[in-house]
Amino acid sequence: MGTTIKGSIGLFDSGLGGLTVLRELHRSLPARSYVYLGDSARTPYGTKGKETIVRYARECAGFLLEQEIGVLVVACNTASAAALSVLEAELPIPVVGTIEPAVRAALESTRTGTIGVVGTNSTVSSGVYEEALLRHDSHLTITSQACPLFVPLVEAGMVAGDIVDKFVEMYCAPLKERGVDTVILGCTHYPLLIQAIQTYLGPKVAVVECSRAIAQDVEDLVGKDGGQQTTPDTRYFVTDEVSKFNYLATAFLGEREVRAVRIETL
């Protein structure tokens, strides 16, 4: 399995959030090349309607296909919830989404079967997490909470401090009250807020996200050394101005300087 898939691994998100998935892929599969697209001109996706998100997802996937990727990672829960099945049906390459990997991580973690889900308005109102969790285990108790202000906070580079703590408390209080033992970060931006969220929920609550499980799925597809490129690199594209993205992405990824290219249309 895996060794026949050549080409780079493509990822897209509405902005910075998918970098949390890319970071994990860099760790797990450092010999591969990557193409990252942050659709920063149209962030956030999570407040938009399903048809709009499907259109954006198709356009992002189309751009990445032109970059000759061999696998597409939809590094956005909102786009996965709205458009994964469309992309899987339409694209000529394997597509990996966020929902099933995050559900797997939560099922491995929970002891009491009481699970919280935080995500964008669109992801939470789609009910995709409840459906996937209950398909695996119909006895689970699930509490979902939309957190529409988390993505703008992260996109503004605000990931710690009093204001962040206030928003975390506001959104996570219902989960604490329900006594969840596991919380799924159902948005790829949210791992950037994990310290504040974990501190608020306390050490007994496991805060899980999709990136490690996604990296495992991609590794299963391409093989640990499959399609190894001699000079692996990562190319970054954004749909809005580059300076803020470059600054925040470089700070976040740490080990490498990010120099994104702005594309005008998708």
Q: Which residues are tagged catalytic? A: 76, 187
| Interaction of residue 191 with ligand DGL, rule CB under 6 A | no
- Is 189 near ligand DGL (CB under 6 A)? yes
Say whether 187 sits in a helix, a strand or coil. Answer: coil
From residue 53 to residue 92, the character string flagging contacts with ligand DGL as x (rule: CB under 6 A) and all else as - is -----------------------xxx--------------
Q: Is 266 in the site for ligand DGL (CB under 6 A)?
A: no
In this complex, which beta carbon is closest to ligand DGL, that of residue 6 or of residue 41? Answer: 41
Can you tell me the distance from the alpha carbon of 119 to that of 78, in angstroms, rounded to the nearest whole number? 8
Which residue number, 116 or 226, has a Cβ lying nearer to ligand DGL? 116
Rounded distance between C-alpha atoms, residue 5 and residue 72, angstroms: 11
Min CB(62)–ligand DGL separation in Å: 19
Beta-carbon contacts of 251 under 8 Å, excluding residues fewer than 6 positions away, are 157
Based on CB atoms, which residue is closest to ligand DGL, 7 or 10? Answer: 10
- Phi, psi (rounded to 5 degrees) for 196: -65, -40
**16 neighbors 190 (Cβ within 8 angstroms):** no
Which of 106/187 has CB closer to ligand DGL? 187
If one asks whether residue 17 binds ligand DGL (CB under 6 A), the answer comes out as: yes
Single out the residue of 12, 34, 36, 45 in contact with ligand DGL (rule: CB under 6 A). Answer: 45
5 vs 208, which CB is nearer to ligand DGL?
A: 208
Query: Of 83, 151, 249, 258, which lies in the binding site for ligand DGL, with binding defined by CB under 6 A?
Result: 151
Rounded distance, CA 154 to CA 167, Å?
A: 12
Separation of alpha carbons 112 and 141, rounded Å: 9
Contact status: 46 vs ligand DGL (CB under 6 A): yes
Which of 120, 182, 211, 234 is close enough to bind ligand DGL by CB under 6 A?
Answer: 120
Of the candidates 258, 250, 248, 257, which has an alpha carbon nearest to the alpha carbon of residue 43?
A: 248
DSSP annotation of 13:
E
Residue 187 as a binder of ligand DGL (CB under 6 A): the answer is yes
Give the one residue of 44, 101, 116, 227 binding ligand DGL; rule: CB under 6 A.
44
Q: Which is nearer to ligand DGL, 186 or 227 (CB)?
A: 186
In the complex, least distance from residue 214 CB atom to ligand DGL, rounded to whole angstroms: 12
Q: Are the C-beta atoms of 143 and 149 separated by less than 8 Å?
A: no
Element (H, E) at 129: helix 128-136
Question: Shortest gap between Cβ of 216 and ligand DGL (angstroms)?
Answer: 18
List 33, 40, 188, 239, residue binding ligand DGL (CB under 6 A): 188
Residue whose token pair is 């090349």:
33
Q: How far is CA 61 from CA 15, 122, 127, 149, in A?
A: 15, 20, 24, 26
**Distance of alpha carbon 193 from alpha carbon 34, whole angstroms:** 24
Binding residues (CB under 6 A) for ligand DGL: these are: 13-14, 17, 43-46, 76-78, 120, 123, 151, 187-189
